[in-house]
Amino acid sequence: MQSPDPTRAAGSTSNLAGKTIALVGQPNVGKTTLFNKLCGLRSHTANIPGSTADAQIGRWAKNRLVDLPGTYSINLDQPEAAVVHDCLSSDSTEAFRPDVVLLVLDASNLCRGLHLAVEILTLGLPCVVALNMTDVARKRGFEIDATKLTSWLGCEVVSTSARCGDGTENLAAAITRARRSEVALPNADDAVICNQWIDGVIRESTPHIPAHTSDRLSDRLDLAFTHPMLGVVVFGLIMAGLFWTIFAFAAVPMDLIDTIFGHIGGWLTDVLPEGDIRDLLVDGIVGGLAGTVVFLPQILLLFFLIALLEDTGYLARAAFVMDRVLRHFGLPGQAFVPMLSAHACAIPAIMSARLVPDRRDRLAVILTAPFLSCSARLPVYVLLIGVMFADEPMLAGLVFAGCYALGIFAALASAWLARRTLLPGTARPMVIELPQYQWPSITAALLTCWDRGWLFLRKAGTVILGMVIVLWWLSAYPKPPADISPTPTQGIVEVSATSSPSPMAYSFAGRIGQAVQPVFDPLGWDWQLTVGVMTSFAAREVFVSTMAVLVGGGDEDDPEILNRIAHAKQDDGRPMLTSATAASLLIFFVLAMQCLPTLAVTAREAGGWKWALLQFGWMTVVAWIGAWIAFQVVLATGSI
């Protein structure tokens, strides 16, 4: 084919200040790196109307820049492709309709991106091409003639290297000159003709194409990272290091946040007169915010480390390795990061499910991730296992490990069932391009942390706060009779019970607990345990503090309090916690959705409360059945 006449692309320039610019490109072309370079902290995440997908929106050169999901083609039967196609089409919603398209192509692999370029240019929108990663192309011996490429595409081409900032200063001027392509472009659906056109573009715009030389270091790394056995070992070591880092480095800021909110609550207690307003502020608002913000260090560290791993190119290799294992359960390889991170906290795990490209696969991960034992369950595990195996540390350790194993089994089994009923179909085949290895961008990782952390506080925090206030109200009203005087509160539902009946029994939460107790009577629970389980819905670890209050007050970290809980009595004088009851409670906490913040995040990430309620209902049923089986088995062995 002949090179098109560049004069045909000429047109009048237009000042596009204050307009919307859509950033479009294939995966691994540096599109998001370019977005972060241009916008930095002047960006936020927004949901794309009509979908569950998110886009980054930032301010740049008085324009609004929208970073759309990466896709290899806008005509693929994939969610990200549909989102890009819909946003660029003539009937796009006003909020995301672009005035200009900034198309990002990989200079080191130009042939791959030209098919997408044809699809975008034939839509008739003003366009500018950012020929990115030119530094990588030069290292491989490629030199692309941007002028000749401009004549073929019919739009201005700017050479850039987003990682080091080269060429980005030229993009703003190019945007003001953006125009529609008027050259003769092939039909993207006609693969023969289109490939011939691409060959002509490459031949004329890249006069010197170096002979292919393999990168021996990259090849050796790939042999290790993608090996069926060694790859799994390497993956395990890297993930162990990742989660060790989260636990080790998040502990200090989490303690600091807890201390700060504790001082705020103490200060409010000192300056405000005793009454409902003080209780609302201290126990409802401050306590609710503390229970939300305390997860922030784990979330920031998780997304920071994931961003670094993704930027190095390793994450794609790990997904390829784990795809062989998870596919048997209807999950893709990308599910491994959310499911592993759920052992730290289910909230960032559900948020990181965005790594899963297919919606059905992503929903399966979101719905099942909370089965995996998170760190918030540890206080409950310690208490209940201590009751069952107080003098048998070996058995206690085995049961402790068994809790984690049970959670993993429940998650995988539920995913397998969901993919054969509610979300039918096998996991989408993993067709993944292994990106080049490179040093990660600390700046890009920090920007990712900022965005995800702020999104968590802004979206989840407001919902969680409102629901925690409701729980506080249920536990605070109505007040007990005058002859039963509660001591100052210490938490959401913490009031002292120094006589029988407990003041908690007079609150709505206590009355609901007594009304609901028959549902849990087959599990061996009395109304006090029922209240403890219900209040722990705000956060799993609240169960221990609630039980400490019900059996006599004090600090739940006090060994004497733990001993009181272990030897507490029911209203009729029978032991409240027997081995059978402790076993049923333990299994229930392993399998149940006992976390209000997680449920709120599920509703947001899955696209509605129907999914969150389904998750809550399924996990509750599974937990009840598992707890009943455990109770019956322990009873059958002769334990009381």
pLDDT digits (tens, 9 = 90+) for 453-463: 887 777 556 66
- pLDDT > 70: percent of the chain: 81
DSSP string, 102-121: EEEEEGGGHHHHHHHHHHHH
Residue 297 has pLDDT above 80, yes or no: yes
pLDDT given for residue 574 in this prediction: 80
pLDDT beyond 50 at 490: no
Token digits of residue 631:
């109770």
What pLDDT is attached to residue 416? 94
Beta carbons of 56 and 15 less than 8 angstroms apart: no
Structural domain includes residue 456: no
For residue 178, give the CATH number of its domain: 3.40.50.300
pLDDT of residue 464: 63
Can the peptide bond before residue 501 be classed as cis, meaning omega within 30 degrees of 0?
Answer: yes
Which residue range is the domain that position 324 belongs to? 214-372
Where does the pLDDT of residue 117 fall: very low under 50, low under 70, confident under 90, or very high at 90 and above?
very high
Residue that wins the pLDDT comparison between 490 and 369: 369
At position 543, the amino acid (one-letter code) is F
What was the pLDDT predicted at 395? 82
Q: What was the pLDDT predicted at 509?
A: 77
User: Does 59 fall in a domain?
Assistant: yes
Pair (235, 166) in one structural domain: no
Same-domain status, 480 and 509: yes
Which of these three, 172, 205, 238, is where a domain ends? Answer: 205
Bridge partners of 485, per DSSP, are none
Residue type, 524: G
pLDDT of residue 211: 61
Predicted local confidence at residue 237, as pLDDT: 84
Is residue 338 assigned to a domain? yes
Tell me the mean pLDDT in the region 576-596: 90
Stretch 31-45: mean pLDDT = 80
Mean pLDDT of 606-617: 92
What's residue 407's pLDDT? 92
Please, which pLDDT band fits residue 412 given cuts at 50, 70 and 90? very high
- Confidence at residue 91, expressed as pLDDT on a 0 to 100 scale: 63
pLDDT digits (tens, 9 = 90+) for 323-355: 888 888 988 877 887 887 787 788 878 887 877
Percent of the chain with pLDDT over 90: 18
Whether residue 246 is found in the same domain as residue 139: no
The reply to whether 186 and 271 lie within a common domain is no
pLDDT number for residue 8: 33
pLDDT at 541 over 70: no
Query: Which is higher by pLDDT, 472 or 377?
Result: 377
Residue 422 lies in a domain: no
pLDDT at 257 over 70: yes
Q: What is the pLDDT of residue 193?
A: 87
Residues 422 and 618 sit within 8 Å (Cβ to Cβ): no
* Average pLDDT of the chain, as a whole number: 79
Q: Which of 340, 372, 404 is the last residue of a domain?
A: 372
Residue 62 sits in the same domain as residue 178: yes
In a domain, 437, yes or no: no
Structure tokens that stand for 472 in this block: 């506080």
Query: Given 183, 205, 227, which residue is the final one in a domain?
Result: 205
pLDDT bracket for residue 631 (50, 70, 90): very high
For residues 164 and 287, state if they share a domain.
no
The total domain count for the chain is: 3
Same domain for 164 and 299: no
- Do 175 and 218 have their domain in common? no
* pLDDT (average), residues 116-120: 92
The answer to whether residues 78 and 191 belong to one domain is: yes
Within this chain, do residues 148 and 223 fall inside the same structural domain, yes or no?
no
Residue 249 pLDDT greater than 90, yes or no: no
Q: Which among 94, 89, 101, 95 has a CA at the least distance from the CA of 16?
A: 101
Give yes or no: residues 164 and 275 share one domain: no
For strands 100-106 and 20-25, give the pairing.
Answer: parallel
**At residue 2, what are phi and psi to the nearest 5 degrees?**
-85, 150
Average pLDDT, integer, range 208-237: 78
Following DSSP, what letter does each residue of 241-271 receive, concatenated?
HHHHHHHHHHHHHHHHHHHHHHHHHHHHHHH
Residue with the bigger pLDDT between 240 and 431: it is 240
Q: Could you report the per-residue pLDDT of 158-192, keeping only the tens digit for each? A: 999 888 778 888 888 898 888 898 888 888 888 88
Please give the sequence-ordered ranges of beta strands (E in DSSP) within 380-517, or none if there are none: none
Return the bridge partners of 101, or none: 22, 127
Q: So what's the pLDDT on residue 504? A: 65
Look at residue 13 in the predicted model and tell me its pLDDT: 33
Neighbours of 328 (CB within 10 A): 10
In degrees and rounded to multiples of 5, residue 187 shows phi and psi of -75, 120
pLDDT digits (tens, 9 = 90+) for 351-400: 878 778 788 889 999 999 999 988 778 778 877 887 788 777 788 888 88
- Name the more confident of 185 and 466: 185
pLDDT at 629: 96
Q: Letter for the amino acid at 1?
A: M
* Residue 497: pLDDT over 60: no
* Residue-wise pLDDT tens digits, 210-219: 665 556 788 8
The pLDDT of residue 276 is 81
Mean pLDDT value across residues 247-260: 82
150, 250: one domain: no
Q: Which backbone phi and psi does 433 adopt, to 5 degrees? A: -90, 125
Residue 94: the pLDDT is 60
The mean per-residue pLDDT over the stretch 291-306 comes to 78
Q: Which of 76, 77, 98 is closest to 87 using CA atoms?
A: 98
For residue 425, being part of any structural domain is answered with no
Any idea which of 41-45, 83-87, 492-496 has the lowest mean pLDDT? 492-496
569 closest CA partner among 489, 501, 508, 494: 501
> Which pLDDT belongs to residue 409?
93
- Full 3-state SS string of 509-571: HHHHHHHHHHHHHHHCCCHHHHHHHHHCCCCCCHHHHHHHHHCCCCCCCCHHHHHHHHCCECC
What is the per-residue pLDDT for 438? 80
- Give the closest residue to 102 by CA, choosing from 120, 115, 78, 79: 120
H or E stretch including 335? Answer: none
Is residue 378 one of the residues assigned to a domain? no
- Report yes or no on 230 lying in a domain: yes
Q: Over 80: is that where the pLDDT of 30 sits?
A: yes
